[in-house]
Structure 1
């Protein structure tokens, strides 16, 4: 019976554990809810034990399920690495991987991840591509980018996306701005400001704050993140960054916490890639992110 379980079912089990709900997991994995439920039930039957216990708020792993899922993550990671080595042929052959970002600036933590990956895999040459697209999936349309690390408030769903770390949005103002001495700023206090964004950030901004929240006047710039923050420092407007990057603002600017109705604005990083990408360096990078950074 165990041999009849498809590999996809094991991936679905991990998605159910991450989402805590069969319905949310089905939406994320783009599979019918009843089909997903049958797959998990068949898996539990094949194993002879319950993986999940059902409760009114969703599902959670049983003690046996916790042990199984922990081992499963390790096994699938080993499988990814094995398939990667089989595909590359020569382990030490130099490979190339292009990592793109769109919308909100590639965060310092994302850059740290790329640096650590390069140190762990010196046979992979990484190139970073800062782009901006009105829709996150658009960054993957061409062959130039293998994987994107994208800031967003929600998942697009599907198995070719990896949820990474969470952060909150913060606002950057010129150091002489009347609100610059405030540790926390309400979104509504920015209604008379000019919000400077790089091309494509407006899409993610609406995604993060919600369509019911009125944004201030927005001006798009086709510049790097560093140039945008220098414009802020010179009093030409305000900008948004990850709160984790608060220490990276330039001289002449300050970073303040941002709230909407006293609540933080949650933002998450996702790695996204195309299923038809045959670059052998791609699964190495995804396995690296899943092992160290997946939330």
Structure 2
């Protein structure tokens, strides 16, 4: 019996009871009143009882119809609640999301994005994995990452990708460095410098400045960005940072604008994730990035 009765017909029955008229109910439901009357008649036939009295002034429920319609209201209300719960269940349940970031980008807008996402979705617990190659599936370690926010232009085959913002690079030097008095420093002025980077981040420089541009001497350190900045402040080299993170430079160091041929050096950022990842929190994060940060 259930397969022969359409949900729309049950809703029409409630509208008829509320309006007390097939004509008014049909206008409210947006269908022909003859078709509506036929639907109600077929419903009565299917359940084997008359639901409405027909009279000159309209229609009214029979005693059996009253009982049926009261129960029907409860059933449809429960159905609406169930469908609503199904749609919002992902938002209501505690979720976990692992995000891989490289050290340079984690000091920039990516960290702001993670913080804002956490504020908008308090039901999602975010864990950050920082490293040099935060690509999902790149190694056994990064296979644990749901999504990577990275500056690398080299994507793994098969990964989904969302292009995000571009950041402008700046240079950090010791405050007593000979170049520190300049508000703008050209890349060519760094030829004799030692450029300190976190381990694995040297490959990002080629993306930023171009493979044809000569790099100064590069020394990699397996340390946090904060320690790297302290090394710079003590005169052990210079390092790169996003210009938006200039306020994070510690005492003893200064941040200056960096140019190549008078033009800012920009680096593109991406979100990448495996298409077979079924974590329900992942599409929430991707939608968040797309709405707020997608280029």
- The alignment's TM-score, normalised by the length of structure 1, stands at 0.65
Structure-2 residue corresponding to 1:235: 235
Structure-1 residue corresponding to 2:29: none
Change (3 A) 1:146 1:140: farther
Which one is further off, 103-112 or 122-131? Answer: 103-112
CA distance in structure 1 between the aligned counterparts of 2:146 and 2:140, rounded to whole angstroms:
7
Change (3 A) 1:178 1:104: same
CA distance in structure 2 between the aligned counterparts of 1:103 and 1:292, rounded to whole angstroms:
22
* 1:206 and 2:201 are equivalent in the alignment: no
Structure-2 residue corresponding to 1:59: none
CA distance in structure 1 between the aligned counterparts of 2:235 and 2:128, rounded to whole angstroms:
30
What is the aligned length?
210
CA distance in structure 1 between the aligned counterparts of 2:144 and 2:223, rounded to whole angstroms:
20
CA contact (8 A) 1:97 1:126 kept: yes
**What is the CA deviation profile of residues 55-97 of structure 1, one whole-angstrom value per residue up to 9, with x for unaligned ones?**
xxxxxxxxxxxxxxxxxxxxxxxxxxxxxx8698554221100
Structure-1 residue corresponding to 2:250: 250
CA contact (8 A) 1:136 1:150 kept: no
Flag structure 1 segments of 5+ consecutive residues without an equivalent. Answer: 1-84
Structure-2 residue corresponding to 1:116: 116
CA distance in structure 2 between the aligned counterparts of 1:121 and 1:149, rounded to whole angstroms:
18
Change (3 A) 1:259 1:113: same
CA distance in structure 1 between the aligned counterparts of 2:199 and 2:164, rounded to whole angstroms:
23
- The alignment's TM-score, normalised by the length of structure 2, stands at 0.65
Q: Per the alignment, in what secondary structure is the counterpart of residue 232 of structure 1?
A: helix
User: How much does 1:288 deviate?
Assistant: 0.6
Flag structure 2 segments of 5+ consecutive residues without an equivalent. Answer: 1-84
Change (3 A) 1:284 1:134: closer
User: How much does 1:139 deviate?
Assistant: 6.6
User: How much does 1:136 deviate?
Assistant: 8.7
User: How much does 1:159 deviate?
Assistant: 7.2
Structure-1 residue corresponding to 2:131: 131
CA contact (8 A) 2:103 2:225 kept: no
User: How much does 1:137 deviate?
Assistant: 7.1
Q: Per the alignment, in what secondary structure is the counterpart of residue 244 of structure 2?
A: helix
Q: Equivalent residues in 2 for 1:1-295 (5 A)?
A: 89=89, 91-102=91-102, 104-133=104-133, 138=138, 142-152=142-152, 154=153, 156=155, 160-295=160-295
